[in-house]
Amino acid sequence: MKALLCLLKRGPIFGALIYLAFASGCAINMKVPIRDPEPSASRYVKPSQSAPVTLYFADNRSADNKGALLTGRIPMQLTTGDKSFEPVSWLAEQTVKDMLARGLPVQLGNDAKGPDTVTIQRIHIENRRVSGFSPFETFTSASADRQACANTFRCRAE
């Protein structure tokens, strides 16, 4: 402790260096902005008569999954721009953007239920960081069911 005080007396530069060394190891409940992924450069070879499809997304996550979307060693607040992170709507928007980038005629439906519905069952983000000087890592997983209806008399779940 005496050595630390001795260094602090020598000048504000040593004090600033020591502060930065300790502060860089801390990450308590930090805000983490979610960036949109890069659109895919791969394109699907589509049939000549591909009909446009409207995708609907429904949230069927359990209360436990909604409450524990994010787990891991570091508590953090996910944000998109200036608002809090809404995982189902973000996943829906990014899925449609990627399909459009691949050349598929898809649009996002407004309601949560329609002829082509993707039902989100689970979304989970696990984070970890070994120390304050190591990279921040996340692992994201999702589970969903897709229901496609060709007509009003026949539906199937995939």
Q: What pLDDT, on the 0 to 100 scale, is given for residue 18?
A: 58
Q: Residue for token digits 């609907």? A: 56
C-alpha–C-alpha distance, residues 67 and 32, integer Å: 18
Regions in the chain scoring below 50 on pLDDT: 151-158
Pull the structure tokens for residue 145: 């069911």
Phi-psi region of 107 (alpha: psi -120 to 50; beta: other; left: phi over 0): beta
- Strand spans (E) along 10-153: 30-33, 53-59, 70-72, 76-80, 83-84, 106-108, 116-128, 137-151
Q: Which element (helix H / strand E) includes 155?
A: strand 154-157
Q: What local confidence, expressed as pLDDT, does residue 58 receive? A: 92
Strand order in the sheet with 30-33: 30-33, 76-80, 83-84
The burial class, CB within 10 Å (0-12 / 13-18 / 19+), for 123 is: buried
